[in-house]
A and B are shown apart, each in its own frame.
Chain A
Amino acid sequence: MTDMISNQQNENSAIDDQYIFDIHDFNLWYGSDQALYGINMGIEKNKITAVIGPSGCGKSTLLKTLNRMIEMVPNVNTSGSIKYDNADIFSKKQMVEDLRTQVGMVFQKPNPFPKSIYDNVAYGPRIHGIKKKKVLDEIVEKSLRGAAIWDEVKDRLNQNAYGLSGGQQQRVCIARCLAIEPNVILMDEPTSALDPISTLKIEELIKELKDKYTIVIVTHNMQQAARISDKTAFMLTGELVEFTDTDTLFSNPKDKRTEDYITGRFG
């Protein structure tokens, strides 16, 4: 009997370990307009989860909720729960700064600070009180290597990040995100402003980052979701229509609405 109970506990903790985010019956309103309806989904650790859907379906809203960036929009109300690492992200005990340290974000347009490449990456660690040059040097190199851009910028770390190409700027932004050692990286259409080669470089990078981080990516590019993600969620008018393995979703979706959207028969 005791064994059974401990086995049950082990199983439960195995499930808890599998998911870094557990979203349960989650609703969100902008003022009186409901944007998300009863979302239930688990985001698996060390997996790439893609969220697709037409404009206005709520995918970016959902993404921005995961690190509470959504609270920057006035008049946002929510119900239901979102747990990060088994703790409610909306609880009073949860410091929003801590959450955002662990759940980093990369945006649609590369948005480096108007500073040197070095200072861009060192910005986060400095805010967290790291002052020693040697430690910062190490973090900057490690982060830029992690973002697959070290070799391209190592000789010009003190130059302004604005002088880089769009694809390079985006990788510096990813490095800036990695510098504070998050567990999760949220990406909101990270390649939509980039050319195809830069896009492929970022996609390769995202796949490499999966070993160390959990990635949630919102993308308008369905082929991108099909290429890089392990799981794909399809959203429509604030509802989660289908959430399954990417291979299944793109070869044999269960819901007619998913089929219509991904095959482009949804006008």
Chain B
Amino acid sequence: MSNVRKTFDAELDRLKETLLEMVKLSQNAIDDALRALKETDLEKAQAIIDNDIQINNYEESINNQVVKILAQQQPVASDLRRTIAVLKISNDVERIGDLAVNIAKSVLIIGNEELIKPIEDIPKMAKIAQGMLSDAIKAFYEEDVILAGDLAKVDDQVDDMYGKLIKELLELMTKYPNSLSQITQLCFICRYIERVGDHATNISENIIYMVKGKMFDLNA
């Protein structure tokens, strides 16, 4: 069987590559934001905010590529699903970039103020959320629906940890009323990390749709 759509295949490959480049930037942004928090590195935090435009540009580029493919190639079947999946996944990846910016902003607000208590569970939760993002991208690249489906369970772990952390932080608020601002920012950061997990789950849903042609709600 010969392939009569080489140009179209090249365009689909380029779309996938663009998404993977965009993902790398978002992953790095999240990694850097968490490192900035841990190391109180305000310069790094500011750099994340400044560089977010690159991630946004990638999203725009993917948008344009998809519009061109839809208009010129009228994809059907798995080609159509792949094109739509990339468009939707790029939206989640862009939101992850925004969450990195949000974490960086919180780091800047906390500033050089010493943390009232080293909170070990935040990096633990962050590690799981980062792992979810890596797995989601691996599942996309390898079209692995089993790995994608498993992420729903991991997201439940993140949600549980988030609940416990918020409870702990609220208790700290009563103990350290003078540090309300810092504790509030830490609550926000926990929320942003928890949202990274949700976006990874959304990506998984789109991978399953791309491969199987069916939508499953993994966030339920």
Give the shortest distance, in Å, between B12 (CB) and chain A (any CB): 10
Q: Contact: B80 with A251, CB < 8 Å? A: yes
Which chain A residues border B78 with CB–CB below 8 Å? 259, 263
Are B5 and A264 touching (Cβ within 8 A)? yes
Proximity string of chain A (233-267) to chain B, C-beta cutoff 8 Å, 1 when within and 0 when not: 00000000000000000111100001110111111
**By the criterion CB–CB under 8 Å, are B77 and A267 in contact?**
no
For B5, give its contact among A250, A259, A263 (CB under 8 Å).
A263
In the complex, which residues of chain A have a beta carbon less than 8 angstroms from the beta carbon of B77?
Answer: 250-253, 258-259, 262-263
Asked if A260 contacts B1 (CB within 8 A), the reply is yes
Residue of A222, A223, A251 contacting most chain B CB atoms (<10 Å)? A251
The answer to whether B1 touches A251 (Cβ under 8 A) is: no
Is A226's CB within 8 Å of the partner chain B?
yes
At the interface, is chain A mostly helix, strand, loop or mixed?
helix
Interface contact B3-A265, CB-CB below 8 Å:
yes
Which residues of chain B come closer than 8 Å to A262, judged between CB atoms?
76-77
Which B residues are in CB contact (< 8 Å) with A223? Answer: 74
A252 x B4 contact (CB < 8 A): no
B174 within 8 A of A: no
A to B contact number (C-beta, < 8 Å): 41
Whether A264 pairs with B8 at a CB distance below 8 angstroms is yes
Cβ-based interface call for B79 (8 A): yes
CB neighbours (8 Å) of A260 from chain B are: 1
Is B76 a contact of A251 with CB atoms below 8 Å?
yes
**B interface vs A, CB < 8 Å?**
1-5, 8, 74-81, 213-214
B76/A250 in contact, CB under 8 A: yes
Q: Which residue of B lies closest to A252 (CB)?
A: B213
A212 to chain B, nearest CB (A): 30
The answer to whether B3 and A267 have CB atoms under 8 Å apart is yes
Assembly CA distance A264 to B76 (angstroms): 9
A257, closest chain B residue (CB): B1
- Chain A residue nearest to B78 (CB atoms) is A259
Contacts of A266 in B (CB 8 A): 1, 4
Known contacts A251-B81, A251-B213, A252-B213; is-contact A263 B76 (Cβ 8 Å): yes
Tell me the complex Cα distance, A222–B74, Å.
10
Query: Is the beta-carbon distance between B213 and A263 smaller than 8 angstroms?
Result: no
A223 to B75, CA, bound (A): 10
A267: contacting residue among B1, B8, B213, CB under 8 A: B1
Q: Separation in Å of the A241 CB from the closest CB of chain B?
A: 13
Cβ–Cβ < 8 Å partners of B81 in chain A:
251-252
Alpha-carbon separation in the docked complex, A260 to B80 (Å)? 13
- Tell me, in angstroms, the Cα distance from A184 to B52 when the chains sit together: 60
Whose C-beta in chain B lies nearest to the C-beta of A265?
Answer: B3
Residues of chain A lying within 8 A (CB to CB) of residue B5: 263-265
**CB atoms of B4 and A264 under 8 A apart:** yes
Q: Smallest CB–CB gap between A237 and chain B, Å?
A: 14
Query: Distance in Å from the Cβ of B67 to the closest Cβ of chain A?
Result: 17
B2 near A267: Cβ-Cβ < 8 Å: yes
A251-B81, A252-B81, A252-B213 given; A267·B4 CB < 8 A: yes
Within the assembled complex, what's the spacing in Å between the Cα atoms of A264 and B11? 14
Residues of A within 8 A of B214 (CB): 252
Q: List 10 extra interface pairs beyond A264-B5, A265-B4, A267-B4, CB under 8 A.
A: A222-B76, A250-B77, A251-B76, A251-B77, A252-B77, A252-B81, A253-B77, A263-B78, A267-B1, A267-B3
